[in-house]
Chains A and B, each alone.
Chain A
Amino acid sequence: MSSIFLAIIIGAAFGAVLDRVGATSPNYIGKMLNLTNLHLAKAILLAIGVGSVLMFGGQMAGLVDVGHMSVKTAYMGVFIGGLLLGVGWAASGYCPGTGIAAAASGRRDALVYAAGGLVGAAAYMVTYPMWKNAGILSGEALTLGAVPGAKYDALLPGVSGDLVGILVGIALILGAFTVPDRIISKPTTAPAE
């Protein structure tokens, strides 16, 4: 029962923060992806960096249970699926989590998106054997360095996974402060031809 309680608390916090950081708005997603306003990219880089430093730091200090880590398998389908997701993400301005959060916040097009998502997931359930037989779903769950106590292999087995995690986290935080507010400059009033 306590896990349901935690699901409610952490889930509600996640939904509320996604909304407050602007991730439930397709305008912010669209402007991040067309490189005209990187507010969200900076927030996400900072968030992943902060999460990384706290998690790996906590694991080194013995305060965070390494068994809570859940590293997904790397295989060819991860990249292909990422490409497919990227197209729909950009066109709609929604990813799975922010899409349903946006629908809950009152966006009707997000509700339509979620319906499309249910059909897409169902289509995958039916076509899953095809991908499996194609052999692109098998691989290994790897972390960058070797994390003591974790059940995953490392890409760089000789390197401390905890230290690498903290360093990568710091790099992401610095990245958040370094990325410019926009990359594509504002169009002039009379578009140059």
Chain B
Amino acid sequence: MILNWKLGGLALGLTFFAAVLLVKPIGVSTQFVILDGILWNAVDPDVVTQNTDGAYTSTNAYLAKSGGKYAKSVASPLNYSFVFVLAMMLGAFASSFLRKGVPSNEKIMPAIWRTNYGDSTAKRFAVAFASGFAVLYGARLAGGCTSGHMMSGMMQTAISGYIFAAGAFAAAVPTALLMFRKEA
């Protein structure tokens, strides 16, 4: 059972406010890059390096940009933004556990998918993987995702937030209208 939109929206808004009051606005998608960097650096320790002056840099231009701030996060994952995302997973897990978890018929694919595309796990997983690829590639190109651009950005009246939301909904609504015609 989910909260009604008034209570849920209020709780979500108070969370956004708490974040900006105490630390900084919420964002998620950068941490995919940080985890990639951690994995990459574990395989090849030369990817992220520290200069003699203490600054971090990387052989990868993206990790090295903006004075090596991503490279620094890769080198020290126990930073606010990375721990934030781990804690977010913990919070979602706890909330789900307390409401008896995701129903068994929802674990592999959601009802809206099953109604429109049937029971094939392979089909659902293939689309999920490709979607994850497109979403994170797009989010990094945009410099943020639904949290950082749309929610945190629009909360701060950031022009980038409005531009992002316009792009995201301009693509998402027609895609959903075409793909999910049958109601679950």
**Residues of A that sit less than 8 Å from B by CB:** 3-4, 6-22, 24-28, 30-31, 33-36, 39-40, 42-52, 54-55, 58, 64-65, 68-75, 77-110, 112-126, 128-129, 131-132, 139, 141-145, 155, 161, 164-165, 168-169, 172, 176, 184, 186-187
Contact = CB atoms under 8 A, between A and B. Distances in A.
A80 B142 CA distance: 7
Interface string B124-142: 1101111111111111111
A113 B108 CA distance: 12
B143 A73 contact: yes
Contacts of A52: 154-157
Contacts of B146: 85, 89, 95-98
A67 to B, nearest CB: 9
Interface of B: 2-6, 8-29, 32-33, 35-37, 39-40, 60-63, 65, 78-81, 83-96, 99, 101-102, 106-113, 124-125, 127-161, 163-173, 175-177, 179-181, 183-184
A120 B19 contact: no
Given A46-B13, A90-B173, 18 more contacts: A7-B87, A11-B83, A13-B15, A14-B84, A16-B94, A18-B91, A19-B92, A19-B96, A20-B95, A28-B2, A46-B12, A68-B20, A82-B165, A85-B146, A96-B136, A96-B139, A96-B146, A123-B133
Contacts of B154: 48, 52, 172
Contacts of B175: 33, 86-87, 90-91
A19 B99 CA distance: 10
B151 A48 contact: yes
Contact of A96 (B18, B78, B128, B145): B145
The interface centre, meaning the residue of A3, A22, A78, A113 with most chain B CB atoms within 10 A of its CB, is: A78
Most chain B CB neighbours (cut-off 10 Å) among A8, A95, A145: A95
Contacts of B80: 3-4, 6-7
B60 A101 contact: no
Contacts of A81: 137-143, 164, 167
Question: Could you tell me the dominant secondary structure of chain B's interface residues?
Answer: helix
Contacts of A31: 112, 184
Contacts of B171: 82-87, 90
B18 A10 contact: yes
A7 B33 CA distance: 18
B160 to A, nearest CB: 4
B137 A123 contact: yes
Contacts of A28: 2
B22 A6 contact: yes
15 contacts: A3-B79, A7-B23, A12-B94, A22-B2, A26-B112, A43-B8, A47-B12, A52-B154, A52-B155, A71-B156, A89-B131, A104-B92, A120-B135, A124-B137, A186-B183
B136 A118 contact: yes
Given A33-B176, A81-B139, A88-B131, A112 B167 contact: no
A125 B63 contact: yes
Given A51-B155, A107-B102, A143-B159, A69 B13 contact: no
A92 B86 CA distance: 22
A131 B28 contact: no
A21 to B, nearest CB: 3
By CB atoms of chain A within 10 A, which of B24, B33, B78, B131 has the most? B131
Nearest to A91: B131
A11 B84 contact: yes
Among the interface residues A77, A102, A112, A165, which one has the most CB atoms of the partner chain B within 10 A?
Answer: A112
